Amino acid sequence: MDDNLAVRVTGLQKRYGEKRAVDGLDLAVARGEIVAVLGPNGAGKTTTVEILEGYRRRDGGDVRVLGVDPQTAGRDWRARIGIVLQTSNDLAEATVAELVHHFARYYPDPRDPDEVIDAVGLREKARTRSRQLSGGQRRRLDVALGIVGRPELLFLDEPTTGFDPEARHAFWSLIRGLRADGTTILLTTHYLEEAEQLADRVAVVNAGRVVAVDTPADLGGRQARKAVVRWTEGGAVREERTDTPAAVVAALATRLGTEVPGLQVLRPTLEDVYLGLIADAEAAPAPATAPDAVDAAPALTATEAAR
């Protein structure tokens, strides 16, 4: 059944007391795909991921992860998924190498622990105790422990929070390498650039349901949005909305000379589109079923230098 799907969630419900944390969430993740789940604080992302990981029970809906219901899954299933947990304080005295080697022994077909330590950029820190790592280094250790079991499906909950830009780029390369190996990845993030860099598709969650799911390029009709060409003329900023910005720029260059003063071509960034989707979702009364796409135009704020 749906053999090409690593994750299939339909009508997921989870309440904490009166609070509906997840409220009819649908999501499908194909094998080999990277899906980023975006959404504001409290949208229900972590609750959903924890249900998929088998750490929380649901109140309703159907969930299949690698073809199995996580609520009744056993050890074999658990060995096929990778979860990036916060490093336990109990293990603070162990070194990076000890921890990665130790965790590898829990799995039937682990990756080489030393290769994993290299892959997350911790070779220099292999003999360092985990309590002596910086926040970003500790997170890389978390990732190492999540992937050492060679999971078919990896859950990453806000994996690069606290990373410096260089570490974040190194982490993205690591994730692309895992995808190239065929690993399916479900990640939550608040970094829109991270979603754009890594995800094949993004799912936007608001108030416990998915309000849009698409490729980063097409989310919310992004490709179809008009560009804005902006320039300075006669001391004033002028702009034109257009489907053909190159033609507008060429016409301007002919009219004003080759260097058009203050020239900018603006297109909506993923962040613009995301913020527009959330604003629309919050403005709308809760629908009976979540719409696939919302096509109101968010503000254009991004700048893309014209060539």
Ligand X SMILES: Nc1ncnc2c1ncn2[C@@H]1O[C@H](COP(=O)(O)OP(=O)(O)OP(=O)(O)O)[C@@H](O)[C@H]1O
Point out which residues bind ligand X (CB under 6 A): 16, 19, 21, 39, 41-47
Per-residue tokens: 222: 């992004």
Nearer to ligand X, 130 or 206 (CB): 206
Task: Give the burial string for 12-44 (b: 16+ CB within 10 Å, else e).
Answer: bbbeeeeebbbbbbbbbbeebbbbbbbbbeebb
- Least Å distance, CB 42 to ligand X, is 4
Nearer to ligand X, 43 or 300 (CB): 43
CA dihedral 42, 156, 52, 205 (to 10 degrees): 40
- Least Å distance, CB 161 to ligand X, is 10
- Least Å distance, CB 281 to ligand X, is 13
3-class DSSP assignment, residue 233:
strand
Neighbours of 205 (CB within 10 A): 25
Nearer to ligand X, 53 or 252 (CB): 53
- Residues near 301 by Cβ (< 8 Å), separated by ≥ 6? 266, 268, 269, 272
- Least Å distance, CB 16 to ligand X, is 3
Nearer to ligand X, 61 or 221 (CB): 61
- Least Å distance, CB 46 to ligand X, is 3
- Least Å distance, CB 12 to ligand X, is 12
d(CA 44, CA 53): 14
Nearer to ligand X, 40 or 67 (CB): 40
User: Strand 34-38 vs strand 201-206: parallel, antiparallel, or unpaired?
Assistant: parallel
Confirm if 18 and 160 have CB atoms less than 8 A apart. no
CA dihedral 176, 178, 184, 190 (to 10 degrees): -50
Nearer to ligand X, 42 or 261 (CB): 42
